[in-house]
Structure 1
């Protein structure tokens, strides 16, 4: 059984990657998280792109543990804001991880933007780094529209104001399974499947 370190403490992300591997019938890989390995210094996310941040996290994790490591970085890119908040999504309001403040600020910035110009995408980059130093970096995008008022209780971050293309519900109104099937992170992680299959032997 090959141990694969997903460089996160977010249990939901661990469950998601396990579900994706299971759905793709990839056996022989055990997904563990940062809570399952001895602590190591984690560099701050200072990259200019999602890819930079994901790769830096995966490189740190692989070097520190000697395990194959996957890391991701994600956020929302709004067309009317020239792709912002982008890599600053989690700290858009100035304080890291304050979902409500981030969401309120974004809605305020888009208050005068007409409906037809409220497009955007959730973007995720995922990086796989092996103990031999080889790197694979992939990107997933989930296009949609930013609505004017939050709806739904599933999900987190900007989910309640994002309606995916072809949907009338927000990302926060979809079930976990529906979201996995379509989400930016799901799309990125599935692009890593050929490499993860090789790991599984």
Structure 2
């Protein structure tokens, strides 16, 4: 079985990737399980940050690496929190604080002015210096709800409304979410090319 190291310690992402990549025979392992810390995200775009993370994980593990740089972009906030989605309220990965700050920033805005999209850039490198990485992107358009709903998913899912279903991202089943989400769309573009790219 071909192994890819995921340039993240996020257990939710790891489970999602392994579920979606299972049919390809590619196993995803967390960089944290191999003793690798997060790379410093100094890029100015999702693509730059994903490349930085993938090259860092590959360099320290000797494995091909998969990196995901994702974020929530809110129109009324000029695209914020964007690259800083995970640390919007100050400390990295504090989803409750991030959601509270986002809801406060949008307080009083009607739903038609709360348009937003999740963005996902996926990058796979075969080795740290790979000059031709595999890159796939996806966007999931919706709006920011006025209060949290649902107990599934992670991150901003409880306040992201999916217009097609009328549900929050946190109310969707994992299968329904993967069919429409930014990460699901990016993976749907990535997966067909991945085995040949890795020589799996």
TM-score, normalization by structure 1: 0.90
Distance in 1 (alpha carbons) for counterparts of 2:5 and 2:168: 31
| Contact residue 31 and residue 37 of structure 2 kept, 8 A | no
2:92 aligned partner:
96
TM-score, normalization by structure 2: 0.90
Following TM superposition, the consecutive aligned residue runs of length 4 or more in structure 1 with deviations greater than 6 angstroms are: none
CA-based RMSD of the aligned residues comes to: 1.7
Shift of 1:21: 2.1
Structure 1, 120-129 or 180-189: larger mean CA deviation: 180-189
Residue 129 of structure 1: which of 100, 125, 131 is its match? 125
Residue 31 of structure 1: which of 28, 41, 60 is its match? 28
Stretches of structure 2 that go unaligned for 5 or more consecutive residues are none
**Secondary structure of the equivalent of 1:71?**
strand
Quick one: higher RCO (CA 8 Å, sep 6+), 1 or 2? 1
1:7 aligned partner:
7
**In the alignment, structure 1 residue 20 sits paired with structure 2 residue 20:** yes
**In the alignment, structure 1 residue 86 sits paired with structure 2 residue 82:** yes
| Contact residue 8 and residue 38 of structure 2 kept, 8 A | no
1:168 aligned partner:
166
Deviations 1:57-84 (A, max 9, x none): 0011112222111011111100111111
Q: 1:1-201 to 2 correspondence within 5 Å? A: 1-22=1-22, 25-27=23-25, 29-37=26-34, 39-40=35-36, 42-131=38-127, 133=130, 134-198=132-196, 199=198, 201=200
Deviations 1:94-152 (A, max 9, x none): 22222111111111111132221111001111110112613122211100011111111
| Contact residue 12 and residue 154 of structure 2 kept, 8 A | no
| Contact residue 26 and residue 200 of structure 1 kept, 8 A | no
Aligned residues: 197
Distance in 2 (alpha carbons) for counterparts of 1:65 and 1:115: 46
